[in-house]
Structure 1
Amino acid sequence: MVQTRGRGRPRAGEELDVGQLLQGALEAFAEKGYDGTSVRELSRRLGVSHALLTARFNSKEGLWFAAMDHALAAMSESWRRLADDPGLDDLEALRQAVVSQLIFSAAHPEVLRIMSHEGATDSPRIRYVVDHFITPLRPLVEQRIDRLVAAGRIRRVPYETLHYLVVIGGGARYASPVETQLLGGTAEHGEEDIRRHAETVADVIVRGLAG
């Protein structure tokens, strides 16, 4: 990842709320993709100067990395915590991880939209996400899966199949709100509705693996 510089000195009256700025950057990249978004456009959209963005993040790619770090760090830690918890049954740990992922997808639908832009073309950005957030967790998840398979509790499926069922299959409801509405759903999702959807998807996946 491109290392960011110090904050520097904002112009008079210009305050930098980093969390809000990174969330705004995620939404911009999700809307137009990396190539379709310029730093000048981002600065106008986020309400900060072009010079301040450059001083803080060095480049558009530096801002992209920082925005994805901001969104994915907590989700990665949640998966790691569930995978490492010795008190959880392996199948329940997998189920809870699916639920956690889908609650995250509802809170950050822009991440799946960004990954849809990035996943079709090889770039340092897609490799960064895979190398820093997906690959490090894979051995922890596979340990649980291997024990479940060895005990005859689930069938083995390719890891990428499970990944896409959870991340894209379950998360598309939030990343594609227009399609969701055309299918009879709603664009507004309360906490209870999000939890119900997450639990349903988790049950379908876990029961399918155990079938």
Structure 2
Amino acid sequence: MTRDDADILRRGLAAFAELGYQGTTVRELAKRLGVSHNYVNDRYGSKEQFWRAVVDFGIAGHVADLMASFEQTDDVDVLRAVVTRWFTLAAGTPEANRIIAEESVRDSTRLDYLAEKYTRRFWGELAPVIQRLMDSGRMPQVPLLLVFVALNGPALALTHQNMHNRLGSALPDTDEDRIRMAEQLAQLVVGGLVTSGPGRQEVPARTSPDS
């Protein structure tokens, strides 16, 4: 990849993160990229193909780092390392994280792309770790999807700057402070999921008022 290619993708990443896919027109892209109106279609084939290239540019390089977090011997250590790395990557790549958050609520071929290329691979590695922790009594017995929700929500919320502003507490400005915040969040979340020792836990099913 040339320096010019990287700059084009970096600008595209910023545009999609700010405006969303639907709000980012080809005309607006050409303006922000400093290229001709036909550049995106000529170079990438379509706006969606350019979006895929942008996503790969924004997050593909971090996948190896995240997957390397599984190289631990104890499942609790694996979970802690993976969640910490997941959250720090989310905090360190806010534009890519905003794109993921935006696409996660829409049924589209773009969400299919994210799920097939990234999410399912990652979750396929993490789910057995969580299941073993449940089976050993180190985590409550709940549906695996519920654990994904418990982990994915905080990761996406790390980029909800506007809501944080309205709560009177802006997100940190420096990379160092953002990483520290992500690490603290990971400790909080993992600490709430994992018990200090074996002992099977069951999360009671909700009962009706009449039962």
**After TM superposition, which residue ranges in structure 1, 4 or more long, deviate above 6 angstroms?**
none
Alignment match of 1:65 (pick from 48, 52, 56): 52
Gap change, CA 1:72 and 1:192, over 3 Å in 2: closer
Taking the aligned partners of 2:161 and 2:173, their CA distance within structure 1 comes to 10
Taking the aligned partners of 1:186 and 1:134, their CA distance within structure 2 comes to 28
Aligned to 1:180: 164
Taking the aligned partners of 2:179 and 2:171, their CA distance within structure 1 comes to 15
Q: Secondary structure at the match of 1:17?
A: helix
Structure 1 residues 58-207: aligned runs within 5 Å: 58-83=45-70, 85=71, 87-173=72-158, 175-207=159-191
**Aligned partners of 1:39 and 1:50 also within 8 Å:** yes
Aligned to 1:11: none
Taking the aligned partners of 1:92 and 1:44, their CA distance within structure 2 comes to 47
Gap change, CA 1:193 and 1:157, over 3 Å in 2: farther
Aligned residues between the structures: 195
Which has the higher mean CA deviation after the structures are superposed, 124-133 or 191-200? 191-200
CA deviation map 1:134-190 (0-9, x unaligned):
1122221122112222222222343333333333324423x2212212223234432
State the 1:66 CA deviation.
0.6
**Aligned partners of 1:99 and 1:195 also within 8 Å:** no
Gap change, CA 1:61 and 1:160, over 3 Å in 2: same
Aligned-residue CA RMSD (Å): 2.3
Q: Secondary structure at the match of 1:33?
A: helix
Gap change, CA 1:65 and 1:90, over 3 Å in 2: same
Taking the aligned partners of 1:134 and 1:34, their CA distance within structure 2 comes to 19
**Aligned partners of 2:131 and 2:144 also within 8 Å:** no
Query: What's the TM-score, normalizing by structure 1?
Result: 0.81
